[in-house]
Amino acid sequence: MPRTLAGLLIVLLSASFLPAQNSSALINEALDKQVKLNFAAKTPLPQIIQVIANDTGVRIDVTPDVWALLPWGEQTAIAATIENQTLRQALEAMTRTLGLTFVLQNEAVEFQPVPALRRIGRRATLPELEVLNFLASTPLGASGNQMPLKDLLAQVDARLEEGKSAFAVENRLPAEQTAQIGVPRNATLMDGLEAIPKSTAGTWYPWGKTLVVVPKEEPIRNQLARTITVRFNDMDISQVLSELATRSGVPFTIEPGAVGKVNADARKVRLDLYNATVQQALESLSGFTGLSYTVNDKGVYIWNPSTSSSSPAREPLAGMIQLDNGMQVFFPQSQVPA
C-alpha cells in the first residue's frame, strides 16, 4: 500500500496538448496556463506525474536520486486537488511539499531534489520534508543585504520557534560565527541557509529534529555512503565513474589523462553491486584500475598515481572474489601460491 504525505492542496488548470517535439518555449507557455486536476488520496507520485503529462502535454522527468531520497521511493504518495492555478504554481507547490524543485529542460520539466535533501544522503523522514517545506515557504525577514552567520542562524531558529516546529539549529562551525552572509531582503529561510555555502566553508541540511550547519565535506561523505544496486557489464571506466557521480549526487573531478593511463585490461569494468555504498564501489574500482581518489569540500577528486607512460605495466590479474554485497576483490598473479 502506498504511504501518503499529509494534505497537499494544490491547484492547476487545463492546457492544450503540446506537439511531441516540445521546446522550452512551448513548455514555458504551457506552465503559465491553468489546469484543473483532482487526485484521489494515496496516489503515488509517478501516477500523478503521468496524469499531468497526459492532460497538459508537458513531459515530466525525475532524476534517479529523487526516488532514493523520498521516504518510500516511487511509492511515496500525495493527495492533491488542483484548480484555479497555473501549472507552474501547482508544480512549485507539489515539489516544495516533497523537498524537490523542478528545472525546465529542452524537452521536459525535470524534478530534482533541493540541495539540502540531496545532502542528507539517505531517505528523508516526513518531519525532514515538512521542515524543508516550511523553510522554503517562510520569509526570512532580513533587514539588510548582509548579516553575520550567527545572526542568520538565530533568525532561522526564531522563525522555527514561531512556527512551532520541533526543529532547532545546531551550528558546528564555531570559527565562522562572524562571517558575513549575503541575503536578499525577500529571501526565504531556505534562501538564507543556502547562502551559507556561498560565503563560508560550511553547509547545512536537516537531520532528525535538527538543522545542522557543518563543514562542506560532511554531507558529501553522507552522499557517498548511499547504497546502490547496479550492474556494470564490460562498461568503460569513464562511464562507470559518471554513473556513480550521478547516483550519489556528488561531483567527480577527474585529473586530465588519469583514465588514459589505466592499463587496457582494466578499462572495461565488470561489477555487480547490491546494496553497496558508492564509496565501496570507488574502493573496488581503485583496487582494480590503480586510480586513486580523495574526498574534499568540492566532491570527489580522482587521479592516477602513474606519472608517465613509461611506468611499468600493471601486473596481470589472476582472479577475483565476489563478496555478498556484490563488491569484487581482485588479486594479481604474484599473490597466488605456487
Residues 174 and 238 in one domain: no
State whether 241 and 192 are in the same domain: no
Nearest CA to 153 out of 219, 211, 201 is that of 211
Domains identified in the chain, total number: 3
Domain extent at residue 255: 223-335
Q: Is residue 182 part of a domain?
A: yes
Residue 247 lies in a domain: yes
Give yes or no: residues 172 and 243 share one domain: no
Whether residue 118 is contained in a domain is answered as: no
Among 198, 215, 232, which residue terminates a domain? 215
Query: Helices 87-97 and 126-137: crossing angle, nearest 10°?
Result: 130
Q: Cβ-count burial of 138 within 10 angstroms (0-12 exposed, 13-18 middle, 19+ buried)?
A: middle
Interatomic CA distance for residues 109 and 49, integer angstroms? 11
What is the percentage of the chain residues whose pLDDT exceeds 70? 84
- Cβ neighbours for 158, distance < 8 A, ≥ 6 positions apart: none
CATH number, residue 48: 3.55.50.30
Determine, yes or no, domain membership for 104.
yes
Residue 119 lies in a domain: no
Q: Are 282 and 331 in contact (CB under 8 A)?
A: no
**Residue 161 within a domain:** yes
Say how many C-beta atoms besides its own lie within 10 A of residue 26's C-beta. Answer: 15
**Residue 301 and residue 327 in one domain:** yes
182: domain CATH number is 3.55.50.10
Task: Give pLDDT tens digits for 97-130.
Answer: 999 999 999 899 999 999 999 999 999 999 999 9
CA contacts within 13 A on the Cβ side of 280: 21
pLDDT reported for residue 2: 53
Contacts of residue 151, defined as CB under 8 A and 6 or more positions apart, other chains included, come to none
Do 331 and 227 lie in one domain? The reply is yes
Whether residues 12 and 95 fall in one domain: yes
Q: Are residues 156 and 97 in the same domain?
A: no
Cβ 269 vs Cβ 285: under 8 Å: yes
* pLDDT at position 271: 87
According to DSSP, the β-strands at 76-86 and 34-44 are antiparallel
Claim to verify: residue 90 and residue 142 sit in the same structural domain: no
In this structure, are 258 and 196 located in the same domain?
A: no
> Which of 188, 215, 242 is the last residue before a domain boundary?
215
At 316, the pLDDT band (50, 70, 90 cuts) reads very low
122 assigned to some structural domain: no
286 and 182 belong to one structural domain = no
| The pTM of the whole model exceeds 0.85 | no
Residues 35-52: what's their mean pLDDT?
89
Mean pLDDT, rounded, of the chain: 85
Residues 228 and 331 in one domain: yes
- 261-298 pLDDT, tens digit each: 998 888 899 888 888 999 999 998 998 899 999 999 99
Same domain, 137 and 59: no
Per-residue pLDDT of 177-224, as tens digits, reads 888 999 988 999 999 999 999 999 999 999 999 999 999 999 999 999
Domain limit, last residue, from 197, 215, 233 = 215
